[in-house]
Amino acid sequence: MPSEYTLVELSKISGEPVRRIRSYIQEGLLPRPLSAGRNATYPARSLNRLQGIKNLRSLHGLSIDKG
């Protein structure tokens, strides 16, 4: 397992849209990138956490409420 992923890689592996992943980062549910710019990378724990969020959403019908 790689130690870092790009945003596109996180999206492809998890099946979550890039826009949703960015939203999770902005809300503090996922860690910020390790580096900035177009080729920013994210720690491997981002994928684990993203998969956990996805599982909770599908199993329990949970959503991220911005209200």
Instruction: Please indicate whether residue 38 or residue 28 has the higher confidence score (pLDDT).
Output: 28
Let me know if residue 23 belongs to a domain.
yes
Let me know if residue 65 belongs to a domain.
no
Give residue 51's domain range.
4-60
Condensed to tens digits (0 to 9), the pLDDT of residues 15-25 reads 999 999 999 99
Number of compact structural domains in the chain: 1
Q: Which CATH number fits the domain that encloses residue 49?
A: 1.10.1660.10
Let me know if residue 67 belongs to a domain.
no
Condensed to tens digits (0 to 9), the pLDDT of residues 40-61 reads 999 999 999 999 998 888 887 7
Let me know if residue 52 belongs to a domain.
yes
Residues 8-16: what's their mean pLDDT?
94
**Which string of DSSP letters, residue by residue, matches 1-67?**
--SEEEHHHHHHHH---HHHHHHHHHTTSSPPPSS-STT-EEETHHHHHHHHHHHHHHHH-------
Let me know if residue 66 belongs to a domain.
no
